[in-house]
Amino acid sequence: MKRFNIFLLSGLLLSCSESPFVSKDVIEELIAFNKNKKNPFKDVKNVVATINNDIYFFSHIDSIPKRLTNSPLEKKTNVKLSFDLTRIVYLDENKIPVIIDSDNGQVLEILSEYSNVKQLGWINNDNSIFLLIGNSVIIYGEAVEVVQPEISYPSNEVLSFSMNDIGDQAYYIKSYGIYAGQKLKFDSEVNKIDTLISVLPNEVSGADYINFYDDTGGFFVGYNDYTSNEIEHVSIFNDYFFWPFVDWYDDFIISPVFNSGHEVLIYGYSNGNYNSIKAVYLGTENYDKNSVEEIKTINIDEYLSEYPIYVDWK
Amino acid sequence: MLKYLFLTFYLLVTTSIISNGQSAWVGFSTEYNLPGGNLKWIYKGAPGVQLNYSWVLKKNKGGYPGYGVTIGYIKFSPKADTLYYLVYLGSGNTGYGTASYSSRKLIQLSSSFFWTMPSKTKKTELIFGTEIGYYYSFFNYDFNDDLGSESGKEIEGKGALVPYFSYALYPSKNVRIAPYFKFNLFFSLGSNDSESITYNPNFGTFNYFYSLGLNISYAF
């Protein structure tokens, strides 16, 4: 009764103003707003993925994707979307980079002079692409200064290389013998680092994959499963000086991409039977009244692939 | 206490008119009632009917007073089965609630005091008056939102103050047809003193609605 009286009293005070009642349309808008507010994936847009060897563009992770290529017999991997969203580069079955238009899939360039590319990425405001081939880094496009990986022994191998637009470069070397293991070399103009950190911190050494996720110095590393040789564990760092602020484990993690603005990790997921796109919220905000510790995941089951899915998103 | 004063006053006036009657009119009104204020938030317009008995005290050329009593019934129907409102849940979160109301029935008992001004031809009159009355109000309500739910029933006698004016036509000497407009203000009586026997948690609240009607009366 008390609440009803308060309601009546508010009605009395507002009797010359607007009604406290609102239309059903307003409520439906509120429900939609609250649903979005509780959805950590609401702003996950511009996702590209290889599904059954063709490239698809999702304007939003929940949307119906646009199919950009129609060559399912030609293997495609390592897909990367340019920051201005206009071009996509991927590796064909010979690991040769191919650049296509992100709007209609038209082939713009085939970088046939480069093959067996292990890792690549857009840099220099989309004016250049770095390519890790063998143990060397090659810049395609506008020249960008790059520190080549140091190989002490011929048996050493550069497993992974990444760089960003603020002068950070890093790579993992696989070494053998008495110092066997994966060692990280991290060069940073921002933080004045030039260190081979094979012993510190433990979380960083021993990984197999590194990728800078933005231009603030943040990066993540991936640890392979020894039998499948696919990533099974990702550690995400705000910058070199901090221990990982979050770790994520899954069966098979293919081409993980982390976006710090949304705190969402997206990757091609495989459980051994099928491949799909998986998105994981790794932030600390409460969503949908769940605890901070509860990590949200969505699996895009509508678009399964017979082959491993490579993804990127901006 | 005010509730009982209104009831006593009503009975006194009624008794007075009946005991001193000379030339009286008995009439029937049908009207359309348009909710205003917070009543309008919930209810749509509703028809109403009234029976009235009035008494003209003394006829003079320039105008003359009169008294009357009225009993009426109105049933306001809600605008929708479910109404919606927003609820602030804290921490920047907003939810919503639903409210449902039954029809709101009013039984009207009132005494009127009016002044009649005849035209030069005496075939028409302008009538200004005020009713003071007692409205019995009945309705149920039900609220549900993220903070809880609440259901209840209101059965309450309320005071009423109803200024009105009318334009009367006389097709014959004993028949009067009078379209009218009323402003119905009704309010909770009692006391806001929680320790008083007349304590009424609704005390201080009021509602109003407008009536457009047609009265047909017969003089005897």
We report the CATH number of the domain holding residue B94 as: 2.40.160.20
pLDDT at A283: 81
Element (H, E) at A189: none
Q: Give chain A positions within 8 Å (CB) of B94.
A: 30, 34
Q: Is A26 on the interface with B (CB under 8 A)?
A: yes
Q: What percent of chain A has pLDDT over 70?
A: 85
Interface contact flag, B99 A21, Cβ < 8 Å: yes
Q: Give chain B positions within 8 Å (CB) of A2.
A: 201
Q: How far is CA A283 from CA A29, A45, A256, in A?
A: 26, 17, 16
Residue A179 has pLDDT above 80, yes or no: no
Q: Give chain A positions within 8 Å (CB) of B83.
A: 21
Interface contact flag, B86 A9, Cβ < 8 Å: no
Q: Among residues A303, A314, A313, A261, which one has the least CA distance to residue A54?
A: A303
Q: Is B100 on the interface with A (CB under 8 A)?
A: no
Which residue out of B39, B42, B43, B84 would a mutagenesis test of the A interface target, given it has the greatest number of A Cβ atoms within 10 Å? B84
Q: Is A6 on the interface with B (CB under 8 A)?
A: no
CATH number of A24-43+123-313: 2.120.10
Report the domain count for chain B.
1
Q: Is the pLDDT higher at A116 or at B122?
A: A116
Phi-psi region of B136 (alpha: psi -120 to 50; beta: other; left: phi over 0): beta
CB contact residues (below 8 A), chain A span 30-69, against chain B: 30-31, 34
Q: How far is CA A47 from CA A41, A58, A88, A109, A248, in A?
A: 12, 5, 11, 21, 20
Q: Is B192 on the interface with A (CB under 8 A)?
A: no
Least confident of A21-35, A164-178, A192-206, B25-39: A192-206
Residue B216 has pLDDT above 90, yes or no: yes
Tens digit of each residue's pLDDT (9 = 90 or more) over B153-191: 989 889 999 999 999 999 988 899 999 999 999 998 888
d(C-alpha B187, C-alpha A10), whole Å: 15
**Helices and strands in chain A: count of H runs, count of E runs:** 2, 23
Q: Which of A39-48, A94-103, A142-151, A208-217 has the highest mean pLDDT?
A: A94-103
Residue A37 has pLDDT above 80, yes or no: no
User: What ipTM goes with this model?
Assistant: 0.77
Residue B145 C-alpha, separation from nearest chain A C-alpha, in angstroms: 12
Q: Is A14 on the interface with B (CB under 8 A)?
A: yes
Residue A39 C-alpha, separation from nearest chain B C-alpha, in angstroms: 14
Q: Facing residues of A125 across strands?
A: none
Interface contact flag, B84 A27, Cβ < 8 Å: yes
pTM: 0.59
- Over residues A174-201, mean pLDDT: 66
